[in-house]
């Protein structure tokens, strides 16, 4: 199967984040920005082959453009995973070569794969053969003491030769033992120049930069150097951050949404998920920070956190919580 879908616009994206970028969060994010590319949580090839694809891969049509992130290091398993994912029509399939967690290392994939560019190239080739959507790679700038520019250069050069034309670079190295995943997102210093240099040395590939980016001035500055910016924690911890995205990054000047309208639309979504048998807490946890920084935000949040975990909770508590926000 060769790539037939056109690549999504990657000028701005929300990063893959386990337990955070669930389909519920993505629905909320899409209510705030029409164009920002949204990544799933990582799904391992192993989980997909042995689990329930519908549960792991189904999403709501309005989430487009949406990219699936896979984890794995076995080309044939990843090929099968892409085959299983094909009917779900993701706009992109991304391979995780950046995650340092123990669980991931034990499965021998994630950031440790940076040391095996030929294997990553094989994975990408096998995935591309089984995907109509473009296959991309998310990586770090290095691992442990393999942190010279030449190491990253060789990795990109080898994987590019297998047909990968878009790389997301989390601009800090991963330290594979001794640091927790959280520390690995905070302690190794950010070196944005490494990603810029890759773009200069490989002008024909798309480079998306990631790591520590928290406002649109920074986004604009990075877009002078690279093709796209990926935002992780800021887009989750402060979802309203995405409000400016369409106008600033995608030149779409449609009227900006109001927070209360987004909240009401999300309440309707939570209601529909509830009617399909999903406890409201799963969707409500993502909306806790929607009103961050405005009057009533604490009471809104408190009302939800005190009520959403009850067994008999109803989705209507979101509209009740909204009463705490002054008109
Ligand atoms: C809770 C959490 C879960 C994450 N899970 C993944 C993951 O599944 N796959 C991945 O490639 N990166 C994962 N990351 C890393 C992010 O995608 C991103 O690279 C990192 O947070 C740096 O971007 P930021 O500084 O904008 O947050 C995760 C980060 C967080 C905070």
pLDDT of res. 147: 94
pLDDT of residue 304: 98
Whether the Cβ atoms of residue 208 and residue 230 lie closer than 8 Å to each other = yes
Which positions are catalytic?
Answer: 99
Residue of the CA atom closest to atom 3 of ligand 1: 17
Radius of gyration of the chain (CA): 20
Task: Indicate the pTM of the whole model.
Answer: 0.97
Residue 148: pLDDT over 70:
yes
- In the predicted structure, residue 286 carries a pLDDT above the cut 70: yes
d(CA 66, CA 304): 28
Does the pLDDT value for residue 3 go beyond 90?
Answer: no
Report the nearest-CA residue for atom 6 of ligand 1. 17
Alpha helices in 224-258, H assignment, sequence order: 233-237, 245-248
Q: Where are the alpha helices (DSSP H) in the chain?
A: 23-32, 45-50, 53-57, 75-85, 102-106, 117-129, 149-161, 192-201, 216-223, 233-237, 245-248, 259-275, 280-284, 297-307, 317-322
> Does the structure show a pLDDT above 70 at 115?
yes
CA distance 85 to 68: 9
Atom of ligand 1 nearest to the CA of 214: 26
Q: Could you tell me the distance, in angstroms and rounded to a whole number, from the CA of residue 15 to the centre of ligand 1?
A: 6
Using pLDDT thresholds of 50, 70 and 90, give the confidence band for residue 200. Answer: very high
Closest atom of ligand 1 to CA, residue 168: 19
Please report, for residues 63, 122, 293, the alpha-carbon distance to residue 159 in angstroms, rounded to integers and kept in the order given.
29, 8, 43
Residue 2: pLDDT over 90: no
Strand partners, 136: 94
Per-residue confidence (pLDDT) for residue 99, from 0 to 100: 87
Which residues, at least 6 apart from 120, have a Cβ–Cβ distance to it below 8 Å?
A: 95, 97, 113, 114, 137, 155, 158, 159, 162
Is the pLDDT reported for residue 104 higher than 60? no
* Domains of the chain, first to last: 12-248 (3.20.20.70), 259-322 (1.20.120.1460)
Q: Which residues line ligand 1 (CB under 6 A)?
A: 15-18, 20, 41-42, 69, 96, 98-99, 138, 170, 185, 210-213, 231-234
What average pLDDT does range 79-93 have in this prediction?
A: 98
Q: Quick one: pLDDT band at residue 1, thresholds 50, 70, 90?
A: low
* DSSP secondary structure string for all residues of 40-99: EEEEEHHHHHHS-HHHHH---GGG-SEEEEEE-S-HHHHHHHHHHHGGG--SEEEEEE--
pLDDT for 150 equals 98
Q: Whose CA is nearest to atom 26 of ligand 1?
A: 232
């Amino acid at each position: 199967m060769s790539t037939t879908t056109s690549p999504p616009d990657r000028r701005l994206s929300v990063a893959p984040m386990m337990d955070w970028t669930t389909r519920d969060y993505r629905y909320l994010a899409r209510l705030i920005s029409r164009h920002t590319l949204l990544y799933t949580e990582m799904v391992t090839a192993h989980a997909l082959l042995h689990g329930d694809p519908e549960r792991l891969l189904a999403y709501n049509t309005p989430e487009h453009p949406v990219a699936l992130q896979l984890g794995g290091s076995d080309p044939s398993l990843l090929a099968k995973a892409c085959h299983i994912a094909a009917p779900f029509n993701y706009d992109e399939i991304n391979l995780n070569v950046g995650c340092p967690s123990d669980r991931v290392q034990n499965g021998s994939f994630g950031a440790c794969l940076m040391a095996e560019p030929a294997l990553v190239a094989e994975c990408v080739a096998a995935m591309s053969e089984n995907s109509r959507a473009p296959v991309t790679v998310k990586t770090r700038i290095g691992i442990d003491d393999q942190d010279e520019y030449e190491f990253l250069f060789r990795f990109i050069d080898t994987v590019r030769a297998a047909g990968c034309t878009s790389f997301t670079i989390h601009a800090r190295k991963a330290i594979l033992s001794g640091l927790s995943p959280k520390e690995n997102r905070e302690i190794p210093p950010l070196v944005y120049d490494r990603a810029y240099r890759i773009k200069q040395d490989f002008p024909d590939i798309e480079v998306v930069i990631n790591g520590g980016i928290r406002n649109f001035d920074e986004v604009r500055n990075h877009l002078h150097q690279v093709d796209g910016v990926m935002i992780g924690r800021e887009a989750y911890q402060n979802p309203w951050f995405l409000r400016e995205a369409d106008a600033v990054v995608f030149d779409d000047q449609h009227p900006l949404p109001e927070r209360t309208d987004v909240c009401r639309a999300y309440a309707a979504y939570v209601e529909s998920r509830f009617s399909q048998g999903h406890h409201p807490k799963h969707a409500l946890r993502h909306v806790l920070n929607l009103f961050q920084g405005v009057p009533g935000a604490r009471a809104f949040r408190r009302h939800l956190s005190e009520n959403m975990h009850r067994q008999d909770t109803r989705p209507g508590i979101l509209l009740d919580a909204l009463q705490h926000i002054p008109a």
